[in-house]
Amino acid sequence: MNTHGMIVVSGAEDVVTAVREEIAAQPGSQSQISERRNLDGSVATWIVVANMAIAAIPHILMFIKDQLASRRVTHIKVGDLEIHNPSPDDLERFRTLVAARLEEASRPR
């Protein structure tokens, strides 16, 4: 079973920094923040790319859900699942889908 997963979060700098700090608090997790610039050189978004224990992903998604009130999280990607401009309800459905996939992946074959 794959014990690590990747999550990519795009949004406002302060929100992405908070997500990165939450990821850093998860044992065995790593993250990196990168500026993404538009063709004109202006900073468009900040991105967190994290490699973390699969078990931490639902926790991180709940943390992100708490950040959605500001509507400054614009994009979340976990594996091949992706959501743009998520609402709290969208993120809850997304979290349920991720949890189901994690459960399926952890079953003995």
**pLDDT (0 to 100) of residue 40:** 64
**pLDDT (0 to 100) of residue 99:** 78
Structurally, the chain folds into a number of domains equal to 1
The domain in which residue 36 lies consists of: 4-106
Q: Helices (H) and strands (E) in the chain — how many of each?
A: 3, 5
Beta bridge mates, 51: 6, 30
Report CA-CA distances (Å) from 106 to 6, 28, 54, 93, 103.
Answer: 16, 18, 10, 20, 5
Rounded CA separation 6/98 (Å): 12
Q: Span 43-71, mean pLDDT?
A: 70
Cut 0.75: pTM above it:
no
Residue 44 sits in a domain of what CATH number?
3.30.70.120
**pLDDT (0 to 100) of residue 1:** 43
What φ, ψ does residue 9 adopt, rounded to 5°? Answer: -125, 130
Share of the chain above pLDDT 70, in %: 72
With 80 as the cut, is the pLDDT of residue 47 above it? no
Mean of all residue pLDDT scores within the chain = 75
